[in-house]
Structure 1
């Protein structure tokens, strides 16, 4: 009998606010087409219902429920989301991501990266930061199906986005917790109204291991092939493929 091929490593996809995993599959299809030969792509749904997000209607009319990871409309609501503990949304997502990695007859499936759009990008940042913290505390054996090497942040927003003293205080407090050590590539829409947020999110990643690509477009997944190809190259290099 032929030897089974080892399982592909996993990339976790986190959608933006007011969409869903199924919608994100369509939105990210150009990037996914280049990644899927090398990785298993796992799309997760956020836990909270909300109105449809920017640009979702009318194209995705009737494709609800529309979901979001965090209520970030006010600093106090967002602060509750980032709180650590067994009952916290972020820690539940961390456990879900860790649970994706498993051992099987043909080898171990490993989660090696996160792709996040808009709100999903900042949530992905925090998930990876906490996973890296577990490794530093010697807890890697518990989550041995996770070895995050790369983050792709597309039109990301930052923790405590927006202006005001309370938001700025929250942003700085979050940044003081440290930066993500994994390699990262940041795809930023030139005309994205949330571009300043995308640029703030870059600060949460290791300066020596991050790459920023500005593309023509707004708050959207990039359509240009060269943008997706450059992002995929960063992912493949980070994963040694």
Structure 2
């Protein structure tokens, strides 16, 4: 039998995909297989976090042979200390390396992340927004974000977003708590996917309510724990929301 010719995706609009802590781009690609299948009008590009760490929850034994495992940020005190400037440089370098290494030609239209990658998604979009507001220009032009189980808070990647409501790029993000109304509110449209049996659900809701403009958010809840949805019945509403939001933002899909 003839092998089917793979579809050419080089021209499609691109979504940057950011894995969770203790995983890597290869594993996140595997975890996202159903989502990739449901989004044929996009080219999904997966980036590797810059820092090595132990495997995240649930990664062993299924993906035990697929290390080394990586992270974007510190979430445990035993993670080696790093100054904020170096942390920002490392994260941005790895993201830029993934983007430049991709063979696609389509516009970078969105960012999608799971867990720590979702926290990073919101943080990158906010950095774009605050740069445009304060300086009139930004290095990226993302139109939307997708947060799969993204917990608060937003991470600061420059002086423009630094305050008591955001966590520094080199700091331990786990356990950070901010009361009151955040002065940092993301208005770039975002989709928030919350698993109703996820132990961190209260922190995902806090991220949505405290750091995102209610008028530009879409919430999708599903009966799942802390993982990327796989079943078609769970994935299809997410894909439908992404297509709808992309079209509203002028993306040709």
Shorter-chain TM-score: which interval?
A: 0.7 to 0.9
Determine which of 23, 27, 52 is the counterpart of 1:19. Answer: 23
For the aligned residue pairs, the C-alpha RMSD in angstroms reads: 3.2
Determine which of 185, 189, 198 is the counterpart of 2:191. Answer: 185
User: Which range is displaced more, 204-213 or 117-126?
Assistant: 204-213
Determine the C-alpha separation between the residues in 1 that align with 2:244 and 2:50.
Answer: 32
The alpha-carbon deviation at position 70 of structure 1 amounts to: 0.8
Any unmatched runs of 5+ in structure 2? 1-8, 154-166, 168-172, 248-252
8 Å Cα contact 2:47-2:94 kept in structure 1: no
The alpha-carbon deviation at position 98 of structure 1 amounts to: 6.3
The alpha-carbon deviation at position 148 of structure 1 amounts to: 1.4
CA gap of 1:6–1:27, structure 2 versus 1, over 3 A, is closer
1:36-83 C-alpha deviation (Å, 9 max, x unpaired): x21111100001111100010100112110111111225xx89977x4
Q: Return the TM-score normalized by structure 1.
A: 0.78
8 Å Cα contact 1:14-1:21 kept in structure 2: yes
1:227 equivalent to 2:234? Answer yes
CA gap of 1:96–1:21, structure 2 versus 1, over 3 A, is closer
Determine which of 122, 125, 137 is the counterpart of 1:125. Answer: 122
Q: Return the TM-score normalized by structure 2.
A: 0.75
The alpha-carbon deviation at position 206 of structure 1 amounts to: 1.7
Determine the C-alpha separation between the residues in 1 that align with 2:30 and 2:69.
Answer: 14
Determine which of 33, 38, 41 is the counterpart of 1:34. Answer: 38
The alpha-carbon deviation at position 162 of structure 1 amounts to: 5.3
* Superposition pairs of residues 6-85 of structure 1, within 5 angstroms: 7-35=11-39, 37-74=40-77, 83=84, 85=85
The alpha-carbon deviation at position 223 of structure 1 amounts to: 2.4
Determine the C-alpha separation between the residues in 2 that align with 1:186 and 1:226.
Answer: 17
Determine the C-alpha separation between the residues in 1 that align with 2:42 and 2:23.
Answer: 23
Determine the C-alpha separation between the residues in 1 that align with 2:118 and 2:44.
Answer: 16
Determine the C-alpha separation between the residues in 2 that align with 1:16 and 1:219.
Answer: 11
